[in-house]
Amino acid sequence: MDLQVVEQVARLDGWLAEGGVVVLSGAGLSTDSGIPDYRGPSGSARRNTPMTYQTFTGDPLARRRYWARSHLGWRTIGQARPNDGHRAVARWQERGLLHGVITQNVDGLHQAAGARDVVELHGNLARITCLACGVLTPREAFAVRLTDANPRFAAVATAVNADGDVELDDAELDGFAVVDCVDCGGMLKPDVVYFGETVPADRVSRAFELVAGARTLLVLGSSLTVMSGRRFVLRAVKQGVRVAIVNRGVTRGEPYADLVIDAPLGVVLPHLGAAPVIG
């Protein structure tokens, strides 16, 4: 770390020691776990436009394409393990330094590292929901059903996106079969918020509550490009809550932040939150 970053980290460490920190994490926190951030500096621009709810529910071919790609992507996302950044956040929570954890990620890696009560703004790819009866199915069980329904599907994923989508040529999709709800035959969808879909109101208000009760809003690995995340920074500023950002590359939260650390999360986060608690 260069001297400037060392000084910034020391300042942030002091804020952590005061407690009352709310973490807001984005894709940049999970890149060290092998899940690429297609918006960030290390991610390549994706070819597929993200799936929308309207296309998913209204276009059977698009839905087949989506499930084929998502099925491949799950092999990467489902096997991803938490990294030092996720472990640091779980440790801060264990030490009582956090007022809450909000994530834009759908990979479940905060919880895998031991964090509790995580507000998953955009849902979690590890759950499948039925759009007709609402029953939730674990992704593992669903993946077994998809594999069984497609014994000859042998396509290999190339680039995997943070939302579990992969690049796949239509030719490889040949005959891919989608499965429906075992209970009611209804349409199944990953329990994630699609592009253009709104985050459920109870989740948003829970996240706003956490921000309102925070001393510091700490943004980790998000460029705050979409309003879905940026609105929490704007709310924090409005309510006099301090804002700190640790992110690789430029973020749109910069004008609002009291502190911005542009450094790899895996280098910075393990150094934080070890000092005695000020309380």
- Cβ pair 99, 20 in contact under 8 A: yes
Which of 43, 114, 186, 270 is the binder for Zn ion (CB under 5 A)?
186
Q: Please, what is the minimum distance in Å from the beta carbon of residue 177 to Zn ion?
A: 18
190: Cβ contacts below 8 Å, ≥ 6 apart? 70, 106, 123, 125, 127, 128, 129, 139, 164
Under rule CB under 5 A, residue 181 binds Zn ion: yes
Q: How many residues bind Zn ion (CB under 5 A)?
A: 7
168: Cβ contacts below 8 Å, ≥ 6 apart? 65, 68, 69, 72, 155, 157, 158
Neighbouring C-alpha atoms within 13 Å toward the C-beta of 135: 12
**How many Cβ atoms sit within 10 Å of the Cβ of residue 67?**
23
Query: In this complex, which beta carbon is closest to Zn ion, that of residue 182 or of residue 234?
Result: 182
Alpha-carbon distance of 39 to 54, in angstroms, equals 23
Q: Please, what is the minimum distance in Å from the beta carbon of residue 198 to Zn ion?
A: 22
- Using CB under 5 A, which residues numbered 72 to 111 contact Zn ion? none
Residue with tokens 């109870």: 202
Q: Please, what is the minimum distance in Å from the beta carbon of residue 184 to Zn ion?
A: 3
Q: Please, what is the minimum distance in Å from the beta carbon of residue 90 to Zn ion?
A: 34
Query: In this complex, which beta carbon is closest to Zn ion, that of residue 145 or of residue 252?
Result: 145
Query: In this complex, which beta carbon is closest to Zn ion, that of residue 188 or of residue 217?
Result: 188
Q: Please, what is the minimum distance in Å from the beta carbon of residue 187 to Zn ion?
A: 8
Q: Which stretch binds Zn ion (CB under 5 A): 156-164, 180-188, 213-221, 245-253?
A: 180-188
- Using CB under 5 A, which residues numbered 116 to 175 contact Zn ion? 130, 132-133
- Using CB under 5 A, which residues numbered 6 to 45 contact Zn ion? none
Residue with tokens 């009611």: 184
Q: Please, what is the minimum distance in Å from the beta carbon of residue 188 to Zn ion?
A: 8
Q: Which segments of the chain does DSSP mark as H helices, in order? A: 3-17, 53-58, 60-77, 84-94, 109-112, 139-149, 201-212, 227-238, 265-268
Query: In this complex, which beta carbon is closest to Zn ion, that of residue 117 or of residue 183?
Result: 183
Query: In this complex, which beta carbon is closest to Zn ion, that of residue 43 or of residue 186?
Result: 186
**How many Cβ atoms sit within 10 Å of the Cβ of residue 244?**
21
Query: In this complex, which beta carbon is closest to Zn ion, that of residue 53 or of residue 153?
Result: 53
Neighbouring C-alpha atoms within 13 Å toward the C-beta of 77: 28
Q: How is 52-68 classified by DSSP, letter by letter?
A: BHHHHHH-HHHHHHHHH
Q: How is 135-162 classified by DSSP, letter by letter?
A: -EEEHHHHHHHHHHH-TT------SBPT
Q: Which stretch binds Zn ion (CB under 5 A): 117-125, 156-164, 184-192, 258-266?
A: 184-192
Residue 95 has which token pair? 């030490």
Which residues belong to the active site? 122
Residues found near Zn ion in the complex (CB under 5 A): 130, 132-133, 181, 183-184, 186
